[in-house]
Amino acid sequence: MLRGRARRGREAYAGGGDPLSGADPPSGADPLDAAQERRVRAVLALGGVPQADLPDGVQQVRLRLLERAASGREAPRDVSAWAAVVASNLAMDWHRAKRRQERLGERLAALRQPAHPSGEDSSVLSVAVAQGLDELPDAQRQVVVLRFYADLPVKSIAEQLGVPEGTVKSRLHTAVRALRARLHEDEVV
């Protein structure tokens, strides 16, 4: 059903009904396609939002996308990147408010895809990386998630966060070094 809704939404937007153009979206059109929704879910989950709250987070991203269109603001150049950054910011907000009430198991379960069973080694590595992400400062965790899990380029991350590219690179370097040290310390790699 989701694919059908996403396909209808893309077709409607291709016809000039883009929700970010300021015009009302067609009735029943979804402002996020299926790939964008999966990316938003992944960013939220990696940012610390528990599986039970992921649907609410996705709806918040949709709402902000529609609010942006309704306010008449200029459409972002890359809606997918914009949605990933909004999701990252929502995750940081939740993370600050909840202070890690939900633990690692739920976040990993939200990302696990049953069609691709993972081996014991990759499972151990996933747990170690997620624990390492938990220990990073918010700003470093945000750029790591956006760069490596949402697959955004450094330039796009910098533009979306409103910081210089050098700041993004510095945060990435520091975070990757800390994660690498954590993995070696835990003897995972």
- Tens of pLDDT along 80-99? 899 999 999 988 887 676 65
**CA 156, CA 15: separation in Å to the nearest integer?**
27
Write down the pLDDT at residue 128: 77
Q: Which of 22-31, 133-142, 158-167 has the lowest mean pLDDT?
A: 22-31
Q: Over range 120-140, report the average pLDDT.
A: 78
SS3 state of residue 136:
coil
Cα-Cα end-to-end distance for the chain: 41
Model confidence band, residue 21 (pLDDT cutoffs 50, 70, 90): very low
How far apart CA 85 and CA 29 sit, in angstroms, is: 22
Residue owning tokens 């529609």 = 66
- Show Cβ contacts of residue 17 under 8 Å, excluding neighbours closer than 6 positions: 23, 24, 25, 26, 29
Q: Which of 3, 73, 53 is nearest to 32 (CA)?
A: 3
What's the confidence (pLDDT) of residue 56? 92
Residue 13 identity (one-letter amino acid): Y
What confidence score (pLDDT) does residue 11 get? 36
The one-letter amino acid at 182: R
Do 139 and 92 meet the contact criterion of CB atoms below 8 Å apart? no
Residue with tokens 């939740």: 94
Mean pLDDT of the region 63-70: 87
Comparing 21-25, 105-109, 137-141, the range with the smallest average pLDDT is: 21-25
Q: What totals of helices (H) and strands (E) does the chain contain, helices first?
A: 9, 0
Q: Encoding tokens for residue 27?
A: 């009735």
